[in-house]
Chains A and B, each alone.
Chain A
Amino acid sequence: GIDCQGGSRMCCRQEFFVDFREIGWHDWIIQPEGYTMNFCTGQCPVHVAGMPGIAASFHTAVLNLLKANTAAGTTGGGSCCVPTARRPLSLLYYDRDSNIVKTDIPDMVVEACGCS
C-alpha cells in the first residue's frame, strides 16, 4: 500500500490519530493514549482496480494497462479505495462499574489501502 504524500490523488493511506486526552476520554481509557485510526482516500482508475496494494507484479501491471487501454473513462466504474490490511486495537479501560477491562478490538487500525 501507499501512504498519502503531498498532492497525490491516487488511492493511499492517510494517517489519522485520535488523541484520547483531546476528546476527553483519557479518564476512562487507561491505555493507549490514542487511537491510530487511519483511513483510505484517493481515486481508483480502472487500470488499478482489483489490485489490493496497487502494483502486485509485473504481469498484473501489464494486464491492467491492457484493461485501461480498452476501458472507457479513467475513474469510477465501481472501484473503491478501501482498506486491504487492518490490525486490532488493544484497549485497557474502566467500565461503568470501575472494573478494568482489557480487550483487542479486531480490524480497527488501517494498515494498507488498495483499489477494490
Chain B
Amino acid sequence: TPRADSQCLACGKHALDLESQRKLLLHLAKRSILDKLHLSQRPTLSRPVSRAALRTVLQRLHGPPQRVLPEADRGQEYEIISFAETGLSNINHTRLDFHFFSDRTAGGMEILQASLMFFVQLPPNTTWTLKVRVFVLGPRDASLTLATQRLLEVDASGWHQLLLGSEAQAACSQGHLTLELVPEGQVSQSSVILSGAARRPFMTARVRVGGKHRVRRH
C-alpha cells in the first residue's frame, strides 16, 4: 500500500535493522496464519492424541480424490478428523462424543460431508446388527435429544465407515455431536466396538467456513 508521501513500504527506504525486521516478519507470519484459520490465538492442546491413533487415522484416509469445486464457489475448506470421547460407554453400548472448535463455528461452519470410522471385533463367522443413534443438543438446554437412528449390519472384524446424514451434520455445525452404537440382540462378554489407542473411533468431516452466507456471483 503506498504511503501518504507516495512512497511504498516495500521500497526499502524505511528499512528496519535486521533483527527488528525479522521480529516484524515473524509477527506478521503468525498473525496471518491465525487470521486465515479464524483463530484468535494458537490452540492449547487439552487432550493430546497418541501417535498410534494419529498413525492409524492417516493410514485409513487414503480414499478416492474428492470433487474439486471451481475457485469462485469455494470458501476456505477444511478436512477435520475428530477423535471420539468414549467415557460414558459400557458393554451394551458405545457412546461417542465429538467436539468442534468454537472459534470456527462462530464464523458459520457448513458441513459438506461427515463420516464415522470405527473398529469392530467380532467372533468368527458372525454377523451383528448395530443400532446407530444420533443425539443432538436440545434447543433450549444442554440435554441430549434423539434426532435419528438407523441399523447397520456388520459381518467382519475391522474398520467400518458410516456416512452420516443431515441431522449429524447439523449437530457438528453447532459444535457437538453424540452418537451411540448399540449391538442388537446377542449379549456379548465385552464391547464389540474397540477404542484402544490405535483403534479409537473417529469422524472425518469436510467443512466450509462462511459458506452458508456467500453470495454467488454471476
Contacts and interface: CB of A to CB of B under 8 A. Distances in A.
Interface of A: 9, 11, 16, 18, 23, 25, 27-28, 30, 35, 37, 39-44, 75-82, 89, 91, 93-106, 108
Interface of B: 1-2, 6-12, 25-26, 28-30, 32-33, 36-37, 42-49, 54, 57, 76-83, 99-104
A35 B79 contact: no
Contacts of B45: 27-28, 94, 96, 98
Contact of A99 (B1, B32, B100): B100
Contacts, number: 123
Contacts of A43: 11-12
Contact of B10 (A41, A96, A104): A41
Contact of B80 (A16, A101, A105): A101
Contact of A28 (B10, B32, B43, B102): B43
The 9 A-B pairs with the shortest beta carbon distances in the complex, nearest first, are A80-B8, A100-B81, A96-B43, A95-B101, A99-B82, A97-B99, A98-B47, A81-B10, A102-B79
A42 B49 CA distance: 45
A103 B11 contact: no
Given A18-B29, A78-B6, A81-B11, 6 more contacts: A18-B30, A37-B32, A91-B37, A99-B81, A99-B100, A108-B33
